[in-house]
Amino acid sequence: MKLEQYGKRLSSPYLRKAMKIHSDVRKFMSDFLKNERDFVEIPPVIISAITDPLNHPTTKSQVQVYGYTYELTKSMIFHKQIAMHALDKIFSFSPNIRLEPTERKKTGRHLIEFTQIDVEQKNASREDVMNLAEDLVIYTIKKLLEKDSDILKSVGRDLKIPTKPFKRIAYAEALKNYGEDFETKLSKEAKEPFWLIDIEITEREFYDREDPTRPGILLDMDLIYPEGFGEASSGGEREYELDQIYKRIAKKGQTPEQFKWYIEFVKKFGLIPSAGFGIGIERFVRFVMGAKDVKDVTLFPKAPGEYYPI
Ligand code: AMP
Ligand code: MG
């Protein structure tokens, strides 16, 4: 993006409205978790020796510090699990850097720098955190409709309060009925957010817990926006048993050395069962505003494969 374009878009009324919504989304999500559910906000981690391997290819972004190599955070999954030793219910507005493949620059959903509200609860089940996420989304939308109805009206957005419980579709059923592109098709058809559950083990990372009663099926879930806005969130129960972690790492063709300090930590201190999820803030704002592209609602957007002067 040219500097001139960059400068011009800053004075657009639409961007100003989006930033007001963005600010209120953060406030209401934080209010809900802190005031209604007793969660503690923890500061984000920016650089670390361990970060999320993710299930899709992203280029590693690293910094050299005092002769050591750190990665920039792709998600706080490992830190959230480890933080369960200190706190029972946590969340963080976690900035993530993911150098997504260039093909993703036109999806309308991908930035290389974004923030997710990353939530984790000790000894919680998938059911508990699905319930929590539904309440969080409903609370935030209700508050936005109370406070920002003028903005939403002015951009022509007729936002509805979703009905609880959100519908659920199992991964295998979605694949069977809609084919490979099930997420896009289901999202386009849907009028309300819905859950995709029981995702297949090959589709996710080793830290998502396998259902002990259904081998190959994970105790995880994705929240999908309606109207074609696509994925809102991923989450689930976490693997906490070391022997399972080893098995799952091997199954992915990875090695424990790739996660050295995480494994060392688990060996010495263990992990506590937990479940959680992360909701991308920019995508949430895009959905609320009914925007075409996540870049349109982001103050300093960076799309995959492009250079931005500021
Ligand atoms: P994940 O754990 O990979 O599902 O990421 C958590 C959430 O962050 C997703 O459900 C999205 O809402 C958001 N997210 C993931 N990748 C991106 C991206 N490249 N740009 C914007 N938001 C993203
Ligand atoms: Mg996901």
At 262, which amino acid appears?
A: Y
What pLDDT is stored for residue 309 in this prediction?
Answer: 83
CATH, residue 147? 3.30.930.10
**Spatial contact of 192 and 162, defined as CB atoms under 8 Å apart:** yes
Q: Would the pLDDT of 151 be above 90?
A: yes
Which residues have CB under 6 Å of ligand 1? Answer: 75, 98, 100, 110-111, 114, 116, 231-234, 278-280, 282-283, 294
Mutate to test the pocket of ligand 1, among 72, 76, 114 (most ligand atoms within 8 A of CB): 114
Mean pLDDT value of segment 193-197: 98
Q: Whose CA is nearest to atom 6 of ligand 1?
A: 278
The alpha-carbon radius of gyration of the chain (Å, integer) is 19
Q: For residue range 269-286, what is the model confidence (pLDDT) as tens digits?
A: 999 999 999 999 999 999
Ligand 1 atom with the shortest distance to the CA of 284: 12
Q: Are 44 and 94 in contact (CB under 8 A)?
A: yes
Give the number of whichever ligand sits closest to the CA of residue 77: 1
Closest-approaching ligand to the CA atom of 54: 1
Residue 305 lies in a domain: no
Please report, rounded to a whole number, the percentage of residues in the chain having pLDDT higher than 90. 94
pLDDT value, residue 300:
94
Residue 162 pLDDT exceeds 90? yes
The single-letter DSSP state of residue 72 is E
- Confidence grade of residue 5 (pLDDT, cut at 50, 70, 90): confident
Q: Which ligand is nearest to the CA of 277?
A: 1
Q: Total structural domains in the chain?
A: 1
Is pLDDT above 80 for 1?
no
Indicate which residue's Cα is closest to atom 16 of ligand 1.
Answer: 110
Look at residue 65 in the predicted model and tell me its pLDDT.
94
Q: How far is CA 156 from the centre of its chain?
A: 27
Nearest C-alpha to atom 12 of ligand 1 is from which residue? 280
Q: Which domain holds residue 245?
A: 3-297
- pLDDT of 161 higher than 80: yes
pLDDT tens track for 204-219? 999 999 999 999 999 9
Nearest CA to ligand 1 atom 8: 280
